[in-house]
Amino acid sequence: LENVRQSPIRVLYVEDEDDIRMVAEIALGGDVFELHACATGQEAVSKAADLNPDVLLLDVMMPGMDGPSTLDQLRKLPSLADTPAIFMTAKVQPSEIQQLKSLGALDVIAKPFDPMGLADQLRTILEAA
Amino acid sequence: MNNAPLARNQKLLALQQSYIAQLPDKLAKIRAYWEQVQHSPDDSERFDELYRGVHSLAGSAGTFSFFTLGQLARQTEQQLKQWHGQPHEAALVQTINDLLAQLLESAAAGPEGKPAPVSETTPTVTKTQSAKQLVYILDDDGTHAEELADQLQHFNYCSIVFSDTVQLQKVMNTKPPAALISNVHLKEGPWRGTQFVQQSETIQQHNIPVIYVSGSMDWQTRLATVRAAGRAFLSKPLDVTAVVEQLAQLTTPPTEDPYRVLIVEDTELLAQHYANVLQNAGMQTEVLTDASQLLDRLPEFKPELILLDLYMPCCSGIEAAQVIRQNASYNSIPIVFLSTEQALGRQLSAMGHGGDDFLQKPIQDQHLIAAVSIRAQRFRTLKSLMIRDSLTGLLNHITLKQNLQAAIAQTLRSNSVLSFVMLDIDHFKSINDTHGHPCGDRVIKTLARLLTERLRKSDIVGRYGGEEFALLLPDTDVSVATRLVNGLREDFSRIGHSSTSYEFRVTFSAGIASTPPHTDMDSLIRSADEALYDAKHAGRNRVKMQLV
C-alpha cells in the first residue's frame, strides 16, 4: 500500500443486497477509495482480473456463491493471490470471526455498519496491516 | 471525509427513506415464509429463504438506524436455527411468533436516534409509487391465504396472514391495519371470525373495515357477517379482483372534490348568504350579481349546479336559463330557480324553460343544502358515466384525449416534463378465444385495477381501446416512467388469472413518449404508439421508449 497517497485505493466489493450496496457506495465515495461494487460473487470473479483491485471487500452470506467461496475463486487469479481481503458479516461471534480470518481474511467488519464510519473503519484496518 | 458530508448525508437519508418504504414488504415476506415452513418443516429451500431474510434484516436494519429491529432480527435468527433442529417444539414456535410480532412493532416505530430530518430529495424509485396499505388476513387455510397475500402485493397492498386470533390480536393492538379480511369460521371454532371482530376493541376504535370470506353463501352466514360489522362479503374461492375492488372502496377515504355551485343573484347580500351556507356545507361557490357575465364564467368555473334568481334587473332567470341551454355542452348542468314566487303556475312555467327545480325564498339553510347537493351529486354521477369506460371505470378515449391536451399545455407552461404511455395486453385475442369473453373482460378489469392502485393521484389512467390502455404521468421523465411501467409489467405478469379450467398468466407491452420533445398531442401519441409497435415486434412483454 505504498501508493496510497498517490492514487485511490481500488476496492472490489461484493454485496447481494441492493440497499446495503448503495449505502456502501455512498459511504466510500470520495477520492480515498475507488469502489467497484458487484451484486454477486460471479460478477466479482469475472471483473476481478481486469480491475486489479487493492482490496477485496466481501459480504459473507449471499445466495449462490457466498463470500468465502468467492474469495476462494478470486485467490485462484495469480494477481489476487495476496490481495488483502476483508469480510463483512452480521455474525460477530468470536469463533466465527476466527474462522473467517483463518480463510485468509485480514479482518472482519461487523454488520450492521455505521455508514458514516465505514470509510474510517476500512482505512484503519488497512493501515494496521 | 473527502466528499462533502452534507451531500452524503442527504443521499443516505434518501436511501433510508427507500429502506423504510420496503420494510413492510420484507417483514410480510418473512412472516409468510414462517407460516409456510411451519406447515412443511422439511421444505429446506423455504427455510433458507426465511433464514436469509431474517439474517439480512439483522445485518442491514442498524445501518438505517433501526437498531432494535436489527437486534430482534438477530434473536429471531438464533431461534430459527434452533427451531430448524426441532420443528415441533411448541415453546420455540411461540418465542418466534412473539419475536415476529415485536419485529413488526419496532419497524412501525420508525428509525431510532435523532429524528431524521426531512430530506429534500425523495428517492426517485419510490416517487411514482404511493405507500402500501397494510391488510391483515385471518385465515387458517394456509396455502390459499398465502396466495391471496401474494397477489394483493401487486395491487399495492402489503398483507400479512394470521392463522389464529391470539396472534392477530397482539399485532393488531400495536399496528392496526387499513382493513381486515377474515374467515367467518376458523379451526378454532365455528363463527370464531365474526366473534373475534365483535370482541376486538381495536377494530371498533379505529373503525377498521372488515371483509368476510366464507365457503358458504347462505342467509345465516351473510346475516352473521352483517351483524358482525362486515362491510363486504365474498365467497370462496376468492376472486382477487373482487377482493381488491372491495379493499379499494373500503380503504380510500371519500376525498371527493367539493361540489361547485354558481350563484346568480342580483342582491349581493343575499347571494353572499347563500354562498356562506353552501360553503359551510363543504361546497365551492362563486357569486355573479350580473347575469350577463354568465357565459364568461361558465367555461372556467365549470359549475355542477347553477342557482338562479328568477327576477333580476337585466333579464329574468327564465331567459338566462334559456341562454345557458343554447350551448349544447351546458345542457345537463342542473339549474335551480330561487324566487319568492308562490303561484304554482309561474313556478311550473319556469321549470318548462330549462330549470330543474324551484326553491321558494326565504329558504331554510338545511333545505338549500339538501336541494343543491342531491342534484349536484346526480349530475356528477351522470357525467362520470359519460366520461368513463363502463367496464373498467377508467376515463374513456375522448375524455382521456381532452385530459392529455390539457396536461401537455400545463407541462409546457410550467416547463416540466410529462410522459405518455400506451399499453397493450399481449395476445389478447387468444385469451378471448381460449377462455371466453367474460374471462377476457376480467383480465382487462384486473389490469385497470392494477394501474389505478399503483399510480399516483395526479396520474391519469384511461382505456384507450379494446385491450389498449394509456397512462398520463405528469412530472415524470421517460426513464422514470420506463422503470415504473416495467415494474407494473413484471407485477402484472405474476398475477394468476383463473378460467374455468386452469390458471393462466398474461403480459403486456408498452411504448413511452414524452413532452418535451413532443409539443403537440398528435405527435406525442404517434411516438408512443410507434414505441409500442417496437415493443410488440421485439417479442412483446417489454417496454420501449420513443426514438429520439
**DSSP-derived secondary structure for B45-59:** HHHHHHHHHHHHHHH
Is 0.80 surpassed by the pTM of this model? Answer: no
Copy the grid coordinates of residue B75.
Answer: 434473536
Nearest to B391 by CA among B343, B450, B449, B451: B449
Residue of B6, B9, B13, B15 best to disrupt the A interface, most CBs of A under 10 A: B15
DSSP H/E element including B77: helix B67-85
Q: Which residue has the cell 420443528?
A: B87
Out of B1, B11, B56, name the one closest to residue A17 (CB). B56
How far is Cα B156 from Cα B162, in angstroms, rounded to an integer? 19
* Span between the terminal Cα atoms of chain A, in Å: 9
Amino acid at B429: K
Residue B191 · residue B220 · CB < 8 Å: no
Chain B residues with CB under 8 Å of A22 CB are 15
Burial class of residue B243 in the structure, from the number of CB atoms within 10 Å of its CB (0-12 exposed, 13-18 middle, 19+ buried): buried
How far is Cα B187 from Cα B140, in angstroms, rounded to an integer? 7
Question: Strand pairing partners for B134?
Answer: B158
Query: What does the pLDDT read at residue B342?
Result: 67
Residue of A17, A21, A23 best to disrupt the B interface, most CBs of B under 10 A: A23
Amino acid at B538: A
Query: The complex's ipTM?
Result: 0.77
Taking the Cβ of residue A92 and every Cβ of chain B, the question of whether any pair is shorter than 8 Å is answered with no
Q: Which long-range contacts (CB under 8 A, 24 or more apart) does B93-100 make?
A: B93/B38, B96/B34, B97/B167, B99/B72, B99/B75, B100/B27, B100/B30, B100/B31, B100/B34, B100/B76
Chain A residues with CB under 8 Å of B58 CB are 90, 111-112
Q: Is A58 helix (H, G, I), strand (E, B) or coil?
A: strand
Q: Which residue has the cell 304554482?
A: B344
How far is Cα B59 from Cα B383, in angstroms, rounded to an integer? 54
Rounded to 5 degrees, what angle do the CA atoms B334, B338, B342 make?
Answer: 125
Copy the grid coordinates of residue A47.
Answer: 471483473
Out of B15, B18, B59, name the one closest to residue A112 (CB). B59
Cβ separation B63–A23 shorter than 8 A:
yes
How far is Cα B99 from Cα B57, in angstroms, rounded to an integer? 13
Q: Which long-range contacts (CB under 8 A, 24 or more apart) does B31-37 make?
A: B31/B100, B31/B104, B31/B160, B31/B161, B32/B146, B32/B149, B32/B150, B32/B160, B32/B161, B34/B96, B34/B100, B35/B142, B35/B146, B35/B161, B35/B163, B36/B142, B36/B146, B37/B87
Question: Strand pairing partners for B262?
Answer: B286, B306
Closest residue in B to A22 (Cα) is B15
Regions of chain B where pLDDT drops below 70:
1-8, 113-131, 252-256, 341-347, 350, 385, 501, 548
Nearest to B171 by CA among B230, B83, B95, B108: B108
Copy the grid coordinates of residue B302.
Answer: 365549470
Strands B230-235, B210-214: parallel, antiparallel or unpaired by DSSP?
A: parallel
pLDDT tens column, A36-48: 999 999 999 999 9
Copy the grid coordinates of residue A124.
Answer: 484503519
DSSP H/E element including B364: none
Copy the grid coordinates of residue B438.
Answer: 367474460
Chain B residues with CB under 8 Å of A112 CB are 58-64, 70
Name the DSSP letter for residue B340.
Answer: -
DSSP H/E element including B290: none
**Average pLDDT of adjacent 10-residue blocks, chain A of 129 residues:** 64 91 85 91 92 94 91 93 92 78 90 85 87
How far is Cα B494 from Cα B503, in angstroms, rounded to an integer? 11
Length of chain A in residues, anyone?
Answer: 129
Closest residue in A to B70 (Cα) is A112
Cβ separation B18–A23 shorter than 8 A:
no
Residue B417 · residue B410 · CB < 8 Å: no
How far is Cα B517 from Cα B507, in angstroms, rounded to an integer? 29
Copy the grid coordinates of residue B51.
Answer: 433464514
Burial class of residue B287 in the structure, from the number of CB atoms within 10 Å of its CB (0-12 exposed, 13-18 middle, 19+ buried): middle
Copy the grid coordinates of residue B529.
Answer: 404508439
How far is Cα B126 from Cα B483, in angstroms, rounded to an integer? 11
Out of B11, B12, B70, name the one closest to residue A112 (CB). B70
Q: Is B505 helix (H, G, I), strand (E, B) or coil?
A: coil
Name the DSSP letter for residue B131.
Answer: P
Phi-psi region of B478 (alpha: psi -120 to 50; beta: other; left: phi over 0): alpha
Closest residue in A to B18 (Cα) is A19
Query: What does the pLDDT read at residue A3?
Result: 43
Contacts of A46 (CB under 8 A, 6+ apart): none
CB interface of A with B, residues 44-83, below 8 Å: 61, 63
Q: Report the 3 state secondary structure along B342-357.
A: CCHHHHHHHHHCCCCE
How far is Cα B269 from Cα B262, in angstroms, rounded to an integer? 15
Strands B305-309, B260-264: parallel, antiparallel or unpaired by DSSP?
A: parallel
Going from the C-alpha of B305 to that of each of B195, B221, B284, B383, the distances in angstroms are: 47, 44, 11, 13
DSSP string, B432-482: HHHH-HHHHHHHHHHHHHHHHHHS-TT-EEEE-SSSEEEEEEET--HHHHH
Cβ separation A61–B2 shorter than 8 A:
no
Closest residue in B to A26 (Cα) is B8
